[in-house]
Structure 1
Amino acid sequence: MQKAYLQITLKINVSDREAATKVYTTYKEPFLKGTAGALSKELLVRDEDVQVLHGFSSEADAKAYLESELFNNDVVVGLKPLLQANPEIRIYNAY
């Protein structure tokens, strides 16, 4: 079974990470329950940046999420004031 991962890397100041974590926590359950093909969502934090790793059933599901209302109207709006640069978005296929 092929799976895909959506990796979003965010440049967020350390002082704003608690607010970013709140956005992640707020939308994790709606993502897992309401997004087609959603399998997992993990928040990865390191000194340089924050990454959100989303697991999907397929690459098509990952791409569809990037076009969804949840992503664009909720997640992006919540994170936008915290970002120091445009996010890096990558989709990987897993075999």
Structure 2
Amino acid sequence: MAYLEITLKVSNNNRSAAAKVYNDYKGPFLKEITGAKSKELLIRDEDVQVLHGFASVADAQAYLKSQMFNDDVVAGLAPLLDAEPEVRIYDVA
């Protein structure tokens, strides 16, 4: 099991639009992306995190190169971000 954590700086004014991007692609992510196990949206005052669960680190790395991630998710979120996203992949011990 592995996790892909993407931390996004999104102003309060843009959070509903960012949540829409999350909701639009959660189902397709779980159905179409190899090794996808879960996807959660975590919200706090400072930022928003999207936590993706994968079968392996390789699956998480492959998702970051996928058409869905780059052409759909990144394209949808880019105008809403206040800073570059922080991307981390964790392997479960």
Residue by residue, what CA displacement relative to the aligned partner does 1:35-85 show, whole Å, maximum 9, x if unpaired? 000000000000000000000000000000000000000000000000000
1:44 is matched with: 42
Question: Is residue 56 from structure 1 mapped to residue 54 from structure 2 by the alignment?
Answer: yes
The equivalent residue for 2:72 is 74
Are 1:16 and 2:21 an aligned pair? no
Q: Which residue of 1 aligns with 2:3?
A: 5
Which TM-score applies when normalising by structure 1? 0.97
Runs of 4+ in 1 over 6 A off after TM superposition: none
1:86 aligned residue:
84
Report the TM-score when normalising by structure 2.
0.99
CA–CA separation in structure 1 for the residues paired with 2:78 and 2:55: 27
Sequence identity, in percent?
66
C-alpha separation in 1, matches of 2:80 and 2:40: 19
Q: What are the ranges of 5 or more consecutive residues in structure 1 without an aligned counterpart?
A: none
- For residues 60 and 12 of structure 2, what CA distance do their matches in structure 1 show? 28
The Cα shift of 1:88 comes to 0.1
Structure 2 unmatched ranges of 5 or more? none
